Amino acid sequence: MENIHKLLKKQIEQTFGPVESIPQKYKRLFELINDCYKEFESGNKDTQKSLKSSNEQLKQTALFANVNPEPVLRIDSKGKILVANEVSKELFGKDILVGLSWYQICPETKKGTFRRLIDNNLSDQIEIEINSKHYQFNIRTIAEYGYVHLYGTDITKRKKTEAILKENISEVEKKNRFVSIINSISSSVHQSISLDKVLETTVQSLSENLRYLHLISIYLIENNCLILKAHRGLPDWLVDIAKNIPYPNGYMWKTITAGVTRYSPDAKKEKVIGKTSVKLDISSFLCIPLRDSDEIIGALSVSSKNKYAFESGEQELFKIVVSQIEDAISNARLAEERQNFIVQLENNLEKIKSMQQELITQQKLASLGTLTAGIAHEIKNPLNFVNNFSDITVELTEDLRKDIESQKDKMDGEIYDDIADILATLEQNSRKINEHGKRADRIVHSMLQHSRGTKGEKQITNLNTLLDDSISLAYHGMRANDESFNVTIKKEFDDSIQNINIISQDISRVFLNILTNGFYETNKKNKAVGDSFSPMLNIKTKNLENDIQISIRDNGSGIPKEVREEIFTPFFTTKPTGEGTGLGLSICYDIIVAEHKGTLRFETEQGKFTEFIITIPKS
């Protein structure tokens, strides 16, 4: 958990700077994370709930963080400022805004505005002028909490644009048309963060308001090509050609390369576009580069059937339109960055939840390992007595047989035969006790190896015996969890397989995991289908030229196609939440492939079977 705490602290410091330098109101974010850390350390059962709450508060706090380049404020129904980011303080020229009244710093706002919006759960917009800058604040009401959020946007450029229009355009009709276009684009910019939607609105507004335009197109540069993003009037054959223009072909690329506006008052005489202009019956052509800061990112192209349609006054108006398009592109990119930041925070919180669950699982496994080791040790002591005394009993019966054999001539024949039969039975029973006692000892030894959790060393091992012991251990483990569980196990072991040098406890872990998965799948299918289904596992070993092959096949439901590529991925599981960690097959793959230089693969058919095939090199 300490590593998780450090990860979150690092994320906060990367976003806001060192913890000690974070302004007082932002320290709540770090305190929330510290609270989550302390709750986990104390074993609080409500950790999941706390993390979820922290997630929501983290998203709200991010709205007011310094990563937001525009002014953002939270205001209550009386106009009192509750939260304001650094940009807001710079805008109003005050070190502290929290606690002040909005109506005092912006007296042009009608008193009671926020009360009205909260009571009626409405949204609104207000515009203010501050220090020669114009700002538009979109008001979003959070009625359930009794406050509003104000999101400011610098509209100085738009205001200057409107001033230029009012000062320089004498023709009322022309002014009204271009103001309508600009307002349409501006409204679209503030209502949607979708760049495609804004560009589509732009060409639609140009087409509807400027009837003399014949063709309209907007291009953006992507991967060294001009991509047609929105258009009006282009015939289908031209769209196919113009939708993707590679560098440096065409008139558009010449405009972008030169970085200046290009105007052809009589386009039919132009060498580059003359033939196309004749075919399209256009006479005037205007192309203006689109910029984001100092970078040229695309172009706006308009054309008309009229000659000299875009003289100096018209060009200036189109440049104003271009400035709005540039604002839309900038806003869309900024929105994408904000969204990516939020997604990153959400992903980090999901990682925390996943890691927390894994820690809980590891704690459970550690406790289980300790319990297993204790039980195994307790069993091993009496088991040693059983094995030792069964060995002694076998030896004593052999000695007794020899002694009786030497006295055979002195004994009655019938009595001798009875004693010989009893000794034979006693010896046979002692050998069976010894055989099964040693098998139990191997199982206990395997349990101890698994519970220790330390990296083992390679040792000469009989793979068939190891697999057989693992089958017994996995089967009885499944039966302990579900007394109704039953399965037919078919074994085909190749007796020609010789002992090989492996880390036995790790290979046993692989066998146990795959066997347990097979038992789980057949049991699940049996419960779903009923008595018509017979659960079965086929387990084979085969002695190949350079390898030993082990195959474990179950007749369960198989692995769905959509998850087969993820089956060996850490933390991926098809089991319900709480029944699997998603680490079993990933660890198996590492043990077989990385540790023993073998192979692990599977074959499956959905609804019929799954077969895992393991190969382990002999040397």
Per-residue burial over 231-266, b = 16 or more CB atoms within 10 Å of its CB, e = otherwise: bbbbeeebeeebbebeeeebbbbebbeeeebbbbee
Q: 58 falls in which pLDDT band (50, 70, 90)?
A: very low
Q: 54 falls in which pLDDT band (50, 70, 90)?
A: very low
Q: 429 falls in which pLDDT band (50, 70, 90)?
A: confident
Q: Where are the domains of the chain?
A: 2-65, 72-154, 158-336, 456-619
Tell me the pLDDT tens digit for each residue of 132-154: 889 999 999 998 889 999 999 89
Beta bridge mates, 296: 291
Q: 421 falls in which pLDDT band (50, 70, 90)?
A: confident
pLDDT of residue 413: 75
**In whole angstroms, what is the distance from residue 141 CA to residue 312 CA?**
45
φ and ψ of 133, to 5 deg: -115, 145
pLDDT of residue 278: 82
Name the pTM for this structure: 0.35
Is beta strand 225-232 parallel, antiparallel or unpaired with respect to 244-246?
A: antiparallel
Architecture of the domain whose range is 158-336: 2-Layer Sandwich (3.30)
Structure tokens at 1: 């958990």
**What average pLDDT score do residues 397-411 get?**
79
**In whole angstroms, what is the distance from residue 71 CA to residue 94 CA?**
13
Tell me the pLDDT tens digit for each residue of 315-337: 777 888 888 788 877 777 777 78
416 has pLDDT over 70: yes
Between helix 504-529 and helix 413-452 the angle, nearest 10°, is: 90
190 has pLDDT over 70: no
Highest CATH level, class, for 72-154: alpha beta
pLDDT of residue 579: 57
pLDDT of residue 465: 92
**In whole angstroms, what is the distance from residue 294 CA to residue 608 CA?**
62
Tell me the pLDDT tens digit for each residue of 356-379: 766 665 565 555 555 666 666 667
**What average pLDDT score do residues 414-437 get?**
81
Domains 158-336 and 456-619 share a fold: no
C-alpha gyration radius of the chain: 40
φ and ψ of 299, to 5 deg: -160, 150
70 secondary structure, DSSP code? S
pLDDT of residue 35: 62
**In whole angstroms, what is the distance from residue 203 CA to residue 614 CA?**
63
Least confident of 71-85, 496-510, 566-580: 566-580
Please report the sign of the dihedral spanned by the C-alpha atoms of residue 342, residue 347, residue 351, residue 353.
Answer: positive
**In whole angstroms, what is the distance from residue 605 CA to residue 479 CA?**
27
More confident residue, 537 or 55: 537
More confident residue, 308 or 608: 608
φ and ψ of 210, to 5 deg: -115, 85
Helix (H) or strand (E) holding 225: strand 225-232
454 has pLDDT over 50: no
CATH code of domain 456-619: 3.30.565.10
578 has pLDDT over 90: no
CB 556 within 8 A of CB 525: yes
Residue 481: CB atoms within 10 A of its CB come to: 11
27 has pLDDT over 70: no
∠ CA 342-344-345 to the nearest 5 degrees? 65
**In whole angstroms, what is the distance from residue 393 CA to residue 426 CA?**
8
Close Cβ partners of 183 (under 8 Å, ≥ 6 residues apart): none
